[in-house]
Amino acid sequence: MPFAGHITPMAAIAGELARDGHEVVGYTGVKYRGRFEGVGARWLAWTAAQDYDDAAIAETFPRIGSGKGMRADRANLEDVLLGTGAGQAADIVAAHRETPFDLIVVDQLAFGGALAAELLGLPWATVAITPLGLASRDLPPPGLRLRPARGPVARGRDAVLRSVFGLLIRRVFDPKIKKMRAAAGLGAQVVGGFDGLHSPHLVIAQGVPGLEYPRSDLPAHVHFVGRLAGATDGSPQVPDWWAKVATARAAGRAVVHVTQGTLDLDLDDLVKPTIAALAEGDPLLICTTGGAPTSVLGQLPGNVLAAPFVPHDLLLPLVDVMVTNGGWGGVLAAVQAGVPLVVAGDTLDKPEVAHRVAWSGAGLDLRTGHPGPAKVRAAVHQVLGRPAMRERAAELGVAMAAAGGTEAAAKLVLQLLP
């Protein structure tokens, strides 16, 4: 899917496979053509599928509006994810007729890739871009923003919810999936709702078990590989204030980073409250705007630095706490660097991310996407004052490095080849 957070892990796998000498085709929107061509893959355009710009998605899919709330989530599912699925499948099948594929690697929300693999009878792998969303008898239904049960009463609650959610899947979501399948030229039978759109051969899950709720029924074909990210550019651009960060670290000053990623760009939600929370305080605050000019932040306090982007692999080793709205890629980057988190997310998968961070012991969940400055300030100072959170983040970072990342993912994918 042509979303920045989806492109990074998929392009990383594509690059690893291309470096191994395999011919790789990256299928995505025109905005991200260069990300695949830059790692040695051939680009395949969204043609039958409706292309869009993820930074202005409502221009193509108006029902999404601001991107906030249940109506926006529903429009994202119906118009973007399900709505483009048949077109994605048509594009992939047409390309296969020109130059046949041996296997397909699918972003878990690019449903058309799953449909195309079924149409073509090819082996395929699913890459979980977000926290693992497969249903489990040990957990509440995915997407309900609930933490795992503790105690018999809560386990009973989860059992009831699983039953109700199963009915909802059959009555509400299965018909939509059947409609997408029919449009792609497939039979209407659906088994397992959205779980049925995950590969039965291989699911590559980002993260490590310490960041994921334990489940006794984890399928054997699900493999945790840590973080999927390409090699860092040998000469990345850094802001002109970059030396101030190292100076702050050398002086023993705390460094805090706040980001809302590249999708939720209403900076009033988190970045500006964090600036207000830490203004003129002792921590050095580094803000990234996700591409917007830093002028949108107004006059900055003396202890605040800002840039549209800063490479995380360079910045995070210098950071003491990261404040984030819960983008999974950014959270994984922080954990890999051993940085504890303050998470404030309430759209799409972000509440699930926030819950996992808190459950793992690597940070705090503010349980809102719009915290006030006082709440952010208290959370940042709480994390700074609790070395156990940094220690836990460091433990998870070691586990993520050991999981193998992109290289491990590529090896798993290649095992599917005949």
Chain segment 154-188, per-residue pLDDT in tens = 788 878 888 888 787 788 888 889 999 999 999 76
Residue 217: what pLDDT? 92
237 lies in a domain? no
Q: How far apart are CA 321 and CA 390, in angstroms?
A: 9
235 lies in a domain? no
Tell me: pLDDT of 233 over 70: no
Q: How far apart are CA 76 and CA 367, in angstroms?
A: 22
Do 59 and 192 fall into the same domain? Answer: yes
269 lies in a domain? yes
Do 91 and 224 fall into the same domain? Answer: yes
Q: Could you tell me the two tokens for 187?
A: 């039979």
236 lies in a domain? no
* Residue 292 binned pLDDT confidence (cut-offs 50, 70, 90): confident
Length of the chain in terms of residues written? 418
Q: How far apart are CA 258 and CA 260, in angstroms?
A: 7
Residue 138: what pLDDT? 87
User: DSSP character for 231?
Assistant: P
Do 324 and 208 fall into the same domain? Answer: no
Beta-strand pair 25-28/42-45: parallel
Do 140 and 252 fall into the same domain? Answer: no
Residue 59: what pLDDT? 93
User: DSSP character for 169?
Assistant: I
Residue-range definition of the domain harbouring residue 128: 4-230+403-414
Tell me: pLDDT of 102 over 80: yes
Residue 369: what pLDDT? 85
388 lies in a domain? yes
Quote the distance between the C-alpha of residue 96 and its chain's center. 28
Q: How far apart are CA 44 and CA 363, in angstroms?
A: 40
Q: How far apart are CA 213 and CA 289, in angstroms?
A: 31
Residue 141: what pLDDT? 81
Nearest by Cα to 116 from 46, 219, 207, 53: 46
Residue 19: what pLDDT? 94
Do 53 and 19 fall into the same domain? Answer: yes
Q: Could you tell me the two tokens for 223?
A: 């493999």
Helix (H) or strand (E) holding 342: strand 341-343
Residues 10/206, Cβ–Cβ less than 8 Å: no
Helical axes 174-184 vs 111-120, angle rounded to 10°: 50
Q: Looking at residue 167, which CATH number applies to its domain?
A: 3.40.50.2000
Do 387 and 336 fall into the same domain? Answer: yes
85-94, 165-174, 208-217, 233-242: the lowest-pLDDT one = 233-242
Tell me: pLDDT of 231 over 70: no
Residue 5: what pLDDT? 87
* Domains identified in the chain, total number: 2
Do 152 and 246 fall into the same domain? Answer: no
64-68, 233-237, 283-287: the lowest-pLDDT one = 233-237
Do 220 and 292 fall into the same domain? Answer: no
201 lies in a domain? yes
Do 191 and 334 fall into the same domain? Answer: no
Do 196 and 251 fall into the same domain? Answer: no
- What mean pLDDT comes out for the span 365-369? 91
* Residue 195 binned pLDDT confidence (cut-offs 50, 70, 90): confident
Query: Torsion over CA of 214, 218, 224 and 227, rounded to 10 degrees?
Result: -60
* Residue 22 binned pLDDT confidence (cut-offs 50, 70, 90): very high
- What mean pLDDT comes out for the span 280-306? 90
In the chain, % of residues over pLDDT 90: 66
Mean pLDDT, rounded, of the chain: 90
Do 217 and 259 fall into the same domain? Answer: no
Helix (H, G, I), strand (E, B) or coil at 126: strand
Residue 66: what pLDDT? 78
Do 256 and 199 fall into the same domain? Answer: no
In tens, the pLDDT along 311-364 reads 888 999 999 999 999 999 999 999 999 999 999 988 778 889 999 999 999 999
174 lies in a domain? yes
